[in-house]
Amino acid sequence: MERSRKNFLKKVILSLCCLCILGLGVVYGISDYMERHTVGRILSSGEAQKLDADCILVLGCRVHEDGSPSLMLADRLEKGIELYESGALARLLMSGDHGRSEYDEVNTMKAFAVEQGVPSEAVFMDHAGFSTYDSIYRAKDVFQAEKIIVVSQEYHLSRALYIAERLGLDAYGVAAADISYQGATYRSLREAAARGKDFLLAWVQPQPKFLGEAVPVSGNGDLTNDKEM
């Protein structure tokens, strides 16, 4: 009886190990596929300037408690502003998390751009960009964009561009400065898992948490303001 129980446990453990290995293989395969599939759409700043796109979509990330952008976010904003000032486009779309009154990525992002001399009306805010998938979906559905330039760190662009393609957006990416940020190992593991999740979402295409009335990026970005700038 004892031997039978031990053999059963060994089989269970072996099965779980095989499932883990299979799962890791699937995640790695999806991650590699996304990179290879989208590499041709990641452009230099000079190449992006030649595109006739509707907006520059800057994807949000962590903001400090004092309301200042993290280093990673500041690098994304600098690249987005650089593209704007080069004449690539006439609109910036700042998409991030503003689901709580005490945490606000998008007003930080817009204020950063306005302080750098970008006209307020040229900067739109997507207050419900809670995930990469939501940001891309809302760029098309709420902000009525058809052709976009996505700005983020290079490791993140493959996923964003794959989602955009599946949702029917003509999207290109420009990488922000990609230095050795703190927590790089954790971020790499998290990104691999996120690619697997968003691969499925991009095929099923559920609506994001919030949609709302259309605010075309061809209009005035101040329509998205929720406070005095």
Annotated domain spans of the chain: 2-224
Question: For residues 79 and 156, is the Cβ–Cβ distance under 8 A?
Answer: no
| Max CA distance (Å), the chain | 78
Comparing 29 with 79, the larger pLDDT belongs to: 79
For 130-160, letters b (16+ CB in 10 Å) and e give bbbbbbbbbbbebbebeebbbbbbeebbbbb
Q: Which helix (H) or strand (E) holds 126?
A: strand 123-126
What's this model's pTM, rounded to 2 decimal places? 0.87
User: Which pLDDT tens digit goes with each residue over 197-226?
Assistant: 999 999 999 999 888 899 999 999 999 998
- What is the torsion angle, in degrees rounded to the nearest 10, for the CA atoms of residue 89, residue 220, residue 165 and residue 176? 50
Helix, strand, or coil here: 116? coil
Task: Give the lowest-confidence range in 6-10, 97-101, 194-198.
Answer: 6-10
CA angle, 27 then 97 then 68, to 5°: 110
| pLDDT in the model for residue 132 | 96
Which residues on neighbouring strands pair with residue 147, listed in sequence order?
A: 170
Backbone angles phi, psi at 147, to 5 degrees: -135, 125
In CATH terms, the fold of domain 2-224 is Rossmann fold (3.40.50)
* Mean pLDDT, range 40-65, rounded to an integer: 91
Query: Is residue 76 scored above 70 in pLDDT?
Result: yes
Instruction: Estimate the crossing angle of helix 154-166 against helix 132-141, to 10 degrees.
Output: 50
Q: Which of 42, 31, 207 is nearest to 130 (CA)?
A: 207
Residue 21 pLDDT class (50, 70, 90 cuts)? low
pLDDT-above-90 percentage for the chain: 59
